[in-house]
A and B are shown apart, each in its own frame.
Chain A
Amino acid sequence: MNLVEKILARASGKDSVRPGDVVVADVDRLVMHDLSAYLTSKVYEDRIGTELPYPDRVVTVFDHHFSPPTEHQADVLNLNREWSRRRGTRLFDCGSGNIHNVLMQNGLALPGQIVVGSDSHTPVHGTVGALAVALGNDSHAGTVMPFGKAWFRVPELVQIELSGDLRPGTTPRDVALWLVKELGEGSVIYKALEFTGPFIKNLDFWDRWLFPVLSVDLGAKCAYIEPDEVTRQFVKTLPGSTLDGLVNGDGDPVDDVRRFEDVRGSASLIHDATVLYASAAGGWRNAAQSVPVNADESRFYYVQLGVSRQWLASGKTTFYVDRGVYKNFNVGEILSISPDKDEVPWGTLVDTEVRRWGLGLEQAVDAANLLLYAQAHFYDPSIAGFPCTFDKDPKVCGGDPSQTSKLPAASWQGVVVGARIQF
């Protein structure tokens, strides 16, 4: 079973559950904000109105209308305060913070728990390894408040695997936004999402938080990250926290896996009889790692063609010509804007292509297991971006992709000399 199935099985008193099963499970936490608490408590009092059996499971956070902008909202807050006091539930008043951050930072959403809430971003608590689901006000009033329970249909799992590193100027938030575009809004309706892969595993807790929070936009029922050492260390910092409920999935094979990763490779060939030398290398990165170069993807390749032969006694000599293209690749490091404009319009680049050609010479020194090499390259960049108006203060850069234009960029030359020891 995966993490969601294990949590649902335990909370519904079953040995195992499968996708499609409908279970009634014990809920550990109900969290509402000021608007939904008002509506939910109204439904509860109108239709049921008995003592709450588990008042400590119900949490309200005032975060939507604080301080109240209108008299009506001030009245709503007062009704919430009065209800919370009367029913003995926990209240975080104006100024405490955003509902989800308050819940998490107060140790009220923990690994293995079932958290339900009225805010559509409630699945964010899957970051800690909880099963967190957004329900409606009537479900909260009808089953969670009076019985501490809710019904769930066990969702199918979709694994989203991310690998690779961030480019300079890019943050996990950029990756998360890109991911929504890649997967598509409403593309995984009622699925459980597991975010995994080396990229996710290397993030700290609050960066991981950015992924389950977007599950509502994808249409998912819930999302989570398997609890690991990062999770454990984070949970230990929370007040009154416990890892007792922590569960991990069994790691069973998943049918639906979406992988997003780098591809790189190279090959070379030396044909002794004809002294022909040929080498090729290429790479591809997905769009997340191309930000802020706002392109669909980035790729590079180069080919080298030449001769390789033992002319000298010391070892083989190789001579080749080289041709390469870098499309939206490593431009942040090599970008060169014309010297009369010292402002580099960072974040406004849209499309870059750098073509290179060059010559290379390699000499092996077999006795020392040494390879000496020298390369000379000529780079010709073509860089497009939003035009910036530099005579205004503050500088204004366009944001309309249809208005991109070629930016001034100078070509440049590069010489590389080096040695490789082979062992």
Chain B
Amino acid sequence: MGKTFAVKALERASGESGLAPGQIVDAFPDLYMSHTATWRCIKTLEKMGWPDLFDRDRIAMVMDHISPAATSKIAGDHRLSREFAQRMGIKNFFDVNAGIAHIVLMEHGLVKPGNLIIGTDSHSTIYGALGALGTGVGFSEITAAWVTGKLWMRVPESMKILVKGPLPEGVYPKDVMLKLIGDISADGATYFSVEFHGDWVESLSTSERMTLCNLAMEAGAKNAFVPPDAETMRYLEQHGADMATVVPLASDPDAEFARTVEIDGTTLEPQIAVPHNVDNVVPISDVAGTKVDQVFIGSCANAKYDDLAIAARYLKGRTVAPGVRLVVTPASADIMAKAAADGIVTTLIESGALLTNPGCGACAGSGGAMADGEVTLSTANRNFRGRMGSYESSIYLSSPAVAAASAVSGVITDPRLVTV
């Protein structure tokens, strides 16, 4: 019987062999990420009496959730983290200008295949796009890892997702993921290591794979995984990863998967998650024509360079509908710079978009809040009630193509009906 990726990755990280799903091991993560809430970890460290750090080079901090600071309280939190990083010599400190933690770490070559990476953000599953085992943990777990270097984990069972492609024009990886979450529900993959397989997955860019692994969290995944290949190596080299230390891991051909789910992407239509749960998914035809007040193109799920490029394609030469706000928040500073150099930023602004600084932005409730009764169509990964402002407002989730097409018409619009 062959081994799954999750077993192999945890054997590597724990130094143990012969692991099986269900076992509990002490694993040594390669990277501990904490975001704007780093101050909580520091406060915990203070309660522990300032013990020595296990390995400061494995610590990464990104001030992404409320950046720049919206209040003096948050400015104080930022300063605490900033000064702590400086005092401790933590070189992987990324300030409020950098962008969303996940994207920034991958862009800086800090995420490598086979790595075990923990983060204070549930969407840490995204690191599977580069063949790493990424998972979200709590603040105190991160602090414990700072000090002990390790974290206990239960070896997860694995689930195989087989996607048949290619996708029709106007349909994107986001639609595949919404369809999957709708099909298996928000707890359909709870504590599973979710692996994406098939020719279509292999054909995807690393950025598109990020969307798959990011959204897998919304089905409950412990981690998500796309087998690393030549595209992965290209991305790593391009982003300055230390290639000498790259040891890709993948499931053996005869590894056991507790469940296999197949999705036929060839006949898929754009999907929408309707309020107030991510697994409340319907085909776009069910909700087309729903009036929107705000369209948000942002988040670690869908505000990468290619997402902005797709949006710009639908917005080129068009203007945002009167009364609709289009808020665009690039995922990282590098993405924003590239989009600016390529004219994408100009296209977006000329169409009437409100372009904000990179970061989590409205997805994390910072800027772009909604008033009572308002509706936002968002490319983010969560539509929970009250997440973006009023408890009496609604969030719909979609691909960037649907978002851009809808911003122009002012109602939820099928991008396949728009000429680009």
Indicate whether A422 reaches chain B with its CB closer than 8 angstroms: no
Please, what's the 1-or-0 string for A62-96, where 1 marks a CB less than 8 Å from any CB in chain B?
00001111110111011001000000000001110
Partner of B367, one of A69, A77, A78: A69
A94 touches B369 (CB 8 A): no
Is B366 touching A69 in the complex (CB atoms < 8 A)? yes
| Closest residue of A by beta carbon distance from B370 | A74
The verdict on B243 contacting chain A, using a C-beta distance below 8 Å, is no
A69 touches B323 (CB 8 A): no
In angstroms, Cα B322 to Cα A93, docked, is 10
B252: min CB distance to chain A, Å: 46
The B345-391 residues at the A interface (CB cut-off 8 A) are 352-356, 362, 366-372, 374, 389-390
Q: Is the CB of A74 within 8 A of B355?
A: no
Across-interface contacts of B368 in A (CB, < 8 A)? 67-68
Instruction: Say how far B407's CB is from chain A's closest CB, in angstroms.
Output: 12
Contacts of B354 in A (CB 8 A): 66-67, 94-95
Interface residue? B417 (CB, 8 A): no
Whether A75 lies near B371 (C-beta < 8 A) is: yes
Q: A93-B325, A95-B325 are in contact. Are A71 and B370 (CB under 8 A)?
A: yes
* CB-defined contacts of B390 to chain A, threshold 8 Å: 71, 74-75
Task: Check if A78 sits within 8 Å of B374, measured CB to CB.
Answer: yes
Query: What is the bound-complex CA distance between A73 and B365, given in angstroms?
Result: 13
Chain B residues within 8 Å of A81, by CB:
323
Report chain B residues within 8 Å CB of A95. Answer: 325, 327, 352-355
**Does B70 belong to the interface (CB within 8 Å)?**
yes
Q: How far is the CA of A93 from the CA of B354 in the complex (A)?
A: 10
The answer, among A66, A69, A71, A93, for a CB contact under 8 Å with B371, is: A71
From residue B176, how far is it (CB to closest CB) to chain A in Å?
30
Contact B372 A75 (CB under 8 A): yes
Compute how far the CA of A70 lies from the CA of B323 in the bound complex, rounded to whole angstroms. 19
Q: With the chains together, A66 CA to B367 CA distance in Å? A: 7
Interface residues of A in 35-75 (CB under 8 A from B): 66-71, 73-75
Complex interface: chain A residues within 8 A of B366 (CB): 69
Q: Which residues of A contact B362 (CB under 8 A)?
A: 67
How distant is A303 from chain B, measured CB to nearest CB, in Å?
52
Complex contact A67–B367 (CB within 8 A): yes
Q: A68-B368, A69-B70 are in contact. Are A74 and B325 (CB under 8 A)?
A: no
B78 to nearest A CB, angstroms?
Answer: 16
Q: How far is the CA of A81 from the CA of B325 in the complex (A)?
A: 12
CA distance A68 to B369 in the complex (A): 5
* Cross-chain contact of A74 among B70, B323, B356, B369 (Cβ < 8 A): B369
Which chain A residues lie closer than 8 Å to B372 at the CB level?
A: 71, 75, 78
Taken together as a complex, chains A and B put the C-alpha atoms of A95 and B372 apart, in Å, by 21
Q: Which residues of B contact A71 (CB under 8 A)?
A: 369-372, 389-390
- Report A190 CB to chain B, min CB distance, Å: 34
- Contacts A94-B354, A95-B325, A95-B353 given; indicate if A70 touches B369 (C-beta within 8 A): yes
Residue of A nearest to B86 (CB): A392
Q: What is the minimal beta-carbon distance from A72 to any residue of chain B, in angstroms? A: 8
Cβ of B271 to closest chain A Cβ, rounded Å:
26
- Inter-chain contacts of B371 with A (CB < 8 A): 68, 71, 74-75, 77-78
Q: Which residue of A lies closest to B352 (CB)?
A: A95
- Please, how many angstroms separate the alpha-carbon atoms of A67 and B389 in the complex? 11
- Tell me whether A68 and B355 are in contact (CB under 8 A): no
Contacting residues of chain A (264-305) with chain B, CB-CB under 8 angstroms: none
Q: For residue B70, which residues in chain A have a CB less than 8 angstroms away from its CB?
A: 69
Per the bound structure, the CA–CA distance linking A75 and B293 in Å amounts to 13
CB nearest to B389 among chain A residues: A71
**CB-based contact B353/A68 at 8 Å:** no
Measured between C-beta atoms, what is the minimum distance from A309 to chain B in Å? 69
- B403: min CB distance to chain A, Å: 15
- Among B355, B367, B390: residue with most chain A CB under 10 A: B367
Q: Which residue of A lies closest to B323 (CB)?
A: A81
**CB interface residues, B 53-94, toward A, < 8 Å:** 70
Min Cβ gap B108→A in Å is: 17
Closest Cβ of chain A to B363, distance in Å, is: 12
How many whole Å from B85's CB to the nearest CB in chain A?
13
Give A217 to B355 CA distance when docked, in angstroms. 31
A78: nearest chain-B partner, CB-CB: B371
Whole-angstrom distance between the Cβ of A118 and the nearest chain B Cβ: 22
Chain A residues, CB < 8 A from B327: 67, 94-95
**Contact partners of B367 in chain A: CB under 8 A:** 66-69
- 1/0 per residue, CB under 8 A from A, across B16-52: the answer is 0000000000000000000000000000000000000
CB neighbours (8 Å) of B370 from chain A are: 71, 74
Give every chain B residue within 8 A of A66 (Cβ-Cβ): 354, 367
Return 29 A-B CB contacts under 8 Å, by A number: A66-B354, A66-B367, A67-B354, A67-B356, A67-B367, A67-B368, A67-B369, A68-B367, A68-B369, A69-B70, A69-B369, A70-B389, A71-B369, A71-B370, A71-B372, A71-B389, A73-B369, A74-B370, A74-B371, A74-B374, A74-B390, A75-B371, A75-B390, A77-B371, A78-B371, A93-B325, A94-B354, A95-B327, A95-B354
B-to-A contact residues, CB < 8 Å: 70, 323, 325, 327, 352-356, 362, 366-372, 374, 389-390
Which residues of A pack against B, CB within 8 Å? 66-71, 73-75, 77-78, 81, 93-95
Sample of 13 more A-B contacts, CB < 8 Å, known A68-B367, A69-B367, A95-B327: A66-B354, A67-B362, A67-B367, A67-B369, A69-B70, A71-B369, A74-B390, A78-B371, A93-B325, A94-B325, A95-B325, A95-B353, A95-B355
